């Protein structure tokens, strides 16, 4: 299965096992979503459970919060992460706070799915990497898979947990490669990173679109690296990061989102606080430049590629 098929399979299983699970969003019904992630679900589960809504991000997420409070398990889709800012208010001021403000009386179990990241020659606002915004706010969980197997397992896990989950799906990885993915339901834990490759010269901490980029760079260079795929941004699996960094003594954080004030800054700070004296070199970061995503004609110069990761590895190993 590719990632789209894996996500589609997960959504089908979630709706099958829980009669209160509802998908809602723009074009998720008959059209099956603009990336076809919800393809066929409208026919299987009907228009009350796979709901084409008016074009209103605030209503989609705000109503999802209400549904969750009233005992449903909404799985809203926001067509692109760049349009999710219209519903920022609902996520930040309400989804993230209901449990806390009501001391547990009202919970918001929902999974907000949205495509993220660039590299697919899309129009403006279709290539954003907004994870830091959502990760910064306690009360939301932020998940971003990098492969079909994790995508399915993380989505099913997200639909079982009683917290609001922002589920970021990298468009570039939707159909990039296939994996053996079980037809049945299974969970991949939230808050647990995956060590996708083990090594001893350096630790590379990454997630989402940058996982295959890092893997390719490491393979070509023939260096021995721990490659950590975070899978969950928040809650962060600090333990896996620190264990690896303490072993290798060198850390490189790679993400597609802009460099400044990003997830890499948080990880670098935690390494500095807790593993400073086990480091042989300063923590390095590879990310996009510190400004908004450009038009597609410029994106190849913006998104970090193998060359940029490779150069950073050289620099880190030589320092």
Partner 1 sequence: MIMEVFKGSINYMQILDENGNIDRSLMPSDIDDSKLIEMYKSMSFARALDAKVLSLQRQGRAATYAPLIGEEATQIGSAFAMRSNDFFVPNFRQHGVYLARGLPLDLFFIYWRGIEEGNAVPESVNGLTVAVPVGTQMPHAAGIAYAFKYKKQDRAVIAYVGDGGTSEGEFYEALNFSGTFALPLVAIIENNQWAISVPRSRQSAAETLAQKGFAAGFKNILQVDGNDVLAVYKATKDAIEKANEGPSLIECVTYRLSMHTTSDDPTKYRPDEEVEKWKAKDPLLRLNKYLVAKGLWNSKLEEEMAADQKAKIDAAVEKAEAFTPDPKSMFDNVYSYIPPILKEELDDAVANGFYQ
- Give the whole-angstrom CA distance, residue 233 versus residue 169: 13
Position among 12, 27, 36, 107 found at the interface with partner 1 (CB under 8 A): 107
| Residue that has been written with the tokens 């590379």 in this structure | 204
Q: Tell whether residue 273 is a contact of partner 1 (CB under 8 A).
A: no
Q: Please name which of 296, 300, 245 lies closest in space to residue 125, comparing C-alpha atoms.
A: 296
Asked whether the beta carbons of 183 and 115 are under 8 A apart, the reply is: no
Q: Does 66 bind partner 1 (CB under 8 A)?
A: yes
Among 27, 36, 63, 197, binds partner 1 (CB under 8 A): 63
Q: How far is the CB of 301 from partner 1 (least distance, A)?
A: 35
**Residue among 24 and 313 whose Cβ is closer to partner 1:** 24
Contact region with partner 1 (CB under 8 A), list: 2-10, 46-54, 167-175, 286-294: 46-54
Of the candidates 205, 196, 197, which has an alpha carbon nearest to the alpha carbon of residue 245? Answer: 205
Q: Is 22 in the site for partner 1 (CB under 8 A)?
A: yes
H/E element, 4: helix 3-17
Cβ neighbour number for residue 214 with a 10 Å cutoff: 29
* The only residue of 3, 14, 50, 65 in contact with partner 1, by rule CB under 8 A: 65
For partner 1, the binding residue among 54, 180, 277, 318 (CB under 8 A) is 54
* Least spacing, CB of residue 166 vs partner 1, in Å: 13
Other CB atoms within 10 A of residue 46 CB:
12
Q: Is residue 125 annotated as part of the catalytic site, yes or no? A: no
Only one of the segments 30-38, 69-77, 193-201, 203-211 lies at the binding site for partner 1 (rule: CB under 8 A); that segment is 69-77
Q: Which two tokens stand for residue 80?
A: 């692109």
Q: Catalytic residue, from 94, 125, 126, 160: name it.
A: 126
Q: From the list 15, 37, 72, 257, which residue makes contact with partner 1 (rule: CB under 8 A)?
A: 72
Strand partners, 226: 203
Please give the Cα distance from 313 to 319 (Å, whole number).
10
- The residue from 64, 203, 209, 310 that contacts partner 1 (CB under 8 A) is 64
Burial (Cβ within 10 Å: 0-12, 13-18, ≥19) of residue 103: exposed
Q: What is the DSSP string of 68-136?
A: HHTT-EEEEE-S-GGGGGGGHHIIIIIITTHHHHTTTSS---EEEEEEE---S-PPTTSS---HHHHHH
**What would the x/- binding string for partner 1 be over residues 129 to 148, using CB under 8 A?**
---------xx-x-------
Q: Using the rule CB under 8 A, which residue among 43, 44, 100, 282 binds partner 1? A: 100
DSSP character string of 70-88: TT-EEEEE-S-GGGGGGGH
53 binds partner 1 (CB under 8 A): yes
- 264 binds partner 1 per the rule CB under 8 A: no
Nearer to partner 1 by Cβ, of 78 and 202: the residue is: 78
Stretch that binds partner 1, among 60-68, 128-136, 223-231, 295-303 (CB under 8 A): 60-68
Query: If binding is defined by CB under 8 A, does position 297 make contact with partner 1?
Result: no
* Residues 167 and 112 sit within 8 Å (Cβ to Cβ): yes
Which residues on adjacent β-strands are paired with residue 202?
A: 225
Binding-site residue total for partner 1 (CB under 8 A)? 45
258 binds partner 1 (CB under 8 A): no
Report the interface residues with partner 1, using CB under 8 A. Answer: 22, 48, 53-54, 56, 58-59, 61-72, 74, 89-90, 93-94, 98-107, 138-139, 141, 161-163, 191, 235-236, 238-239
């Amino acid at each position: 299965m590719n990632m789209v098929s894996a996500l589609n399979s997960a959504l089908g299983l979630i709706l099958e096992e829980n009669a209160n699970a509802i998908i809602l969003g723009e074009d998720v019904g008959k059209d099956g979503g603009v990336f076809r992630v919800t393809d066929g679900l409208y026919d299987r589960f009907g228009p009350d459970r796979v709901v084409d809504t008016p074009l209103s991000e605030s209503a989609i997420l705000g109503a999802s919060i209400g549904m969750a409070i009233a005992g449903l398990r909404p799985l809203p889709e926001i067509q692109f992460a760049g349009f999710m800012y219209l519903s920022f208010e609902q996520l930040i001021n309400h989804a993230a706070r209901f449990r806390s403000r009501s001391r547990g009386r009202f919970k918001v179990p929902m999974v907000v799915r949205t495509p993220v990241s660039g590299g697919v020659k899309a129009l403006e606002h279709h290539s954003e990497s907004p994870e830091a915004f959502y990760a910064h706010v306690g009360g939301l969980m932020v998940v971003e898979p990098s492969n079909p197997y994790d995508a399915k397992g993380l989505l099913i896990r997200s639909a079982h947990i009683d917290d609001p989950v922002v589920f970021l799906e990298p468009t570039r990885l939707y159909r990039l490669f296939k994996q053996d993915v079980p037809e049945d339901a299974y969970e991949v834990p939230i808050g647990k990173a995956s060590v996708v490759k083990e090594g001893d010269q350096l630790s590379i901490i990454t997630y989402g679109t940058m996982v295959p980029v890092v893997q390719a760079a490491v393979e070509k260079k023939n260096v021995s690296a721990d490659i950590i795929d975070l899978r969950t941004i928040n809650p962060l699996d600090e333990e896996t990061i620190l264990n690896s960094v303490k072993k290798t003594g060198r850390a490189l954080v790679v993400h597609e989102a802009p460099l400044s004030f990003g997830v890499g800054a948080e990880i670098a700070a935690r390494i500095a606080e807790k593993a400073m004296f086990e480091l042989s070199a300063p923590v390095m970061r590879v990310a996009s430049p510190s400004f908004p995503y450009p038009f597609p004609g410029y994106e190849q110069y913006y998104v970090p590629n193998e060359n940029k990761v490779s150069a950073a590895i050289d620099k880190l190993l030589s320092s």
